[in-house]
Structure 1
Amino acid sequence: MTRAGKALPDKRLPATHDSLAFGVPSSAPGTMYALVSSGGLAVPPREGRTVLFGRNRPEVHVCIGEDDRHISRHHGRLVHRDEQWWVGNVGRRPIRLPESRLLFTDEEPVPLTEGYTPLFIRGSGGREHLLELYVAGRDGQRRGAGRDEATTPPRTWRLTTTERLALTALGQRYLRHEAGAQPLSRREAAACLDRLRPGEGWTIKRVEHLLLGVRGRLSRAGVPGLTREEVGEPVGNALNDNLFRELMVSTTLVPPDLDWLHED
């Protein structure tokens, strides 16, 4: 199949486009945005409209995993029917949806809800390729915005480059939208970072220091649930779980941050 005969997307998104986790501009209800690291597109709704994604750039609308032969040439499709967008898998490897749901080859397509949906496809060497999707709601903006209200963005917390790297390693299960996500242990995160960035002094103590620093800073700024006094005993992993949920909800950390963990 070639591009000939396929409806062209109305708007291309550049590689520099912000993560769709930050939301989208005011758009016609049902407009579907699709974004990968090399760019993407925005497609208005229309019955039967189809968007193909996979690694064969000349034959798909969104090219994902172009240099990874574990990704199929045509890996999946997004189709608009019955006033809704649906995602289907036609590739060899499953597509992972939020909450660790796997969509297998030729399985019944899954409807997309309004708002943000990240999809992951496992490639070579354990790498996971991210396809971000966003379906504009009936108000054309973020979910939760009133019809006549401007969208209020969440407060995003400032992190240093080193903090972002450490928190991405610790919170990678949250960024992958895994079911029942919990942070990696400090030992696991330090080992991950030392493998990716040898010689930079990644130790358990360094990861712990960065984690406690961010948690303390956000607590002092008014984020609840980040101290033992608030949570009570037994604390378990509640403090860090609360931290990562705040970092996700505030879009301080977004799924494209996982690129920090990719080996060169």
Structure 2
Amino acid sequence: MTEGMYPLGRLTPSLVRQEPLFAGAAAPVGTLFVLGDAGGYAAAAVAGRSLVVGRNAPDVHVAIGGEDGYVSREHVLLRCVEHGTGTRWVVRNGGKLPIRLPDTAPLLRAHEAPLPVGYTPLYIQGSQLHVVEVLVSDGHRHRGAVRPDTSTGNLRLPITRREWLVLVAMFSAVLAREDQALPLSWNETGKVLNTVPGQSGWNDRKAEAVVDGVRHRLTAAGIERLTRETAPAEALKTNLARVLVDTGTLLPEDLTILNTGIDPNPAGLMNR
């Protein structure tokens, strides 16, 4: 085993929920965690270090899409490079299919982009959607003791601003507490999004693709009844709405965005 690199077992919890320990202790700043279909890898930030993700299970660090012939044998390359006085991690597409990241253009073959600190899902759409979970540690795994003056915590689930906008539109009737409120259809959701100031080009397929990404990521995090294999198709939206509302991920005040195009919480989605 290379020094500073450790395998993560198949029972490792989703990186959405918990940052794993690194060699039995909290990870140093910049440590990279990667989870695929059956475990993953952790690597300290050392310039020149790289991890490979792909279908060729015996020869890659993290395996995905083992039975999906559209996923390349070495589809994702994660490299640690020098940056300023330190280092940063970069993701590069070595496969044929694009790699989608939240809030940025898809990475095409041979394209690369820096990874931000924190959690980033990588989506590869082959014969099915594959999710590679990536986490760059900020070095603050443990929380301090709760005191009377401690800020209120939250159970809010990690979603991007783009995902949040689509979800607010789709569940607008639910958030408005209308009688017998139901989620909007994909077509209705696209139409609402196109009326939001600063938004255009939405349609049913784009809205559905965003929400499918959220469902798959939350399922990987251990949240149940969000896939067609675990719940009736007609219940998926309702189940997702319940999860998002119960965790405070969506709030009634979020409806403001639909009329103004302005985020009611400019300090950031996580500060609720």
- TM bucket (normalised to shorter chain) is 0.5 to 0.7
Secondary structure at 1:182 match in 2: helix
- Cα distance, 1:100–1:198 mapped onto 2, change above 3 Å: same
* Count of residue correspondences: 203
- Cα distance, 1:67–1:154 mapped onto 2, change above 3 Å: farther
Structure 2 residues not aligned, in runs of 5+: 147-151, 171-182, 187-207, 213-224
Q: For the Cα contact (< 8 Å) 2:37–2:65, is it kept in 1?
A: no
- Cα distance, 1:198–1:234 mapped onto 2, change above 3 Å: closer
Q: Return the offset for 1:9.
A: 6.3
CA distance in 2, matches of 1:61, 1:8: 14
Q: Which residue of 2 aligns with 1:259?
A: none
Residues 157-204 of structure 1: CA deviation (Å, up to 9, x unaligned): 7xxxxxxxxxxxxx9xx8688567413544459xx99x936995836x
CA distance in 1, matches of 2:50, 2:12: 22
- Cα distance, 1:9–1:151 mapped onto 2, change above 3 Å: farther
CA distance in 1, matches of 2:115, 2:70: 25
Q: Which residue of 2 aligns with 1:261?
A: none
- Cα distance, 1:209–1:132 mapped onto 2, change above 3 Å: closer
Letter in 1 for 2:126: G
Q: Which residue of 143, 150, 168 corresponds with 2:144? A: 150
- Cα distance, 1:136–1:208 mapped onto 2, change above 3 Å: closer
Residues 5-55 of structure 1: CA deviation (Å, up to 9, x unaligned): x94762211222111122424211221111123111110111211101110
Aligned sequence identity (%): 27
Residue 37 in 1 paired to residue 69 in 2?
no
- Cα distance, 1:226–1:15 mapped onto 2, change above 3 Å: same
Structure 1 residues not aligned, in runs of 5+: 1-5, 158-170, 251-264
- Cα distance, 1:233–1:111 mapped onto 2, change above 3 Å: closer
Q: Which residue of 2 aligns with 1:16?
A: 11
Q: Normalising to structure 2: TM-score of the pair?
A: 0.58
Alignment of 1:110-189 (within 5 A): 110-124=113-127, 127-137=128-138, 140-141=139-140, 150=144, 154-156=153-155, 178=162, 181-183=165-167, 184=170, 185-188=183-186
Q: Return the offset for 1:116.
A: 1.1
Q: Which residue of 2 aligns with 1:257?
A: none
CA distance in 2, matches of 1:234, 1:175: 16
Q: Which residue of 1 aligns with 2:90?
A: 86
Residues 48-82 of structure 1: CA deviation (Å, up to 9, x unaligned): 11101110001111111111011000112111110
Residues 137-171 of structure 1: CA deviation (Å, up to 9, x unaligned): 2xx125xx8xxx639895337xxxxxxxxxxxxx9
Secondary structure at 1:20 match in 2: coil
Instruction: Kindly indicate whether structure 1 or structure 2 has the higher relative contact order, using CA contacts under 8 Å at least 6 residues apart.
Output: 1
Q: Normalising to structure 1: TM-score of the pair?
A: 0.59
Q: Return the offset for 1:98.
A: 1.3
Secondary structure at 2:144 match in 1: coil
Q: Return the offset for 1:226.
A: 3.7
CA distance in 1, matches of 2:117, 2:240: 35
Q: For the Cα contact (< 8 Å) 2:37–2:63, is it kept in 1?
A: no
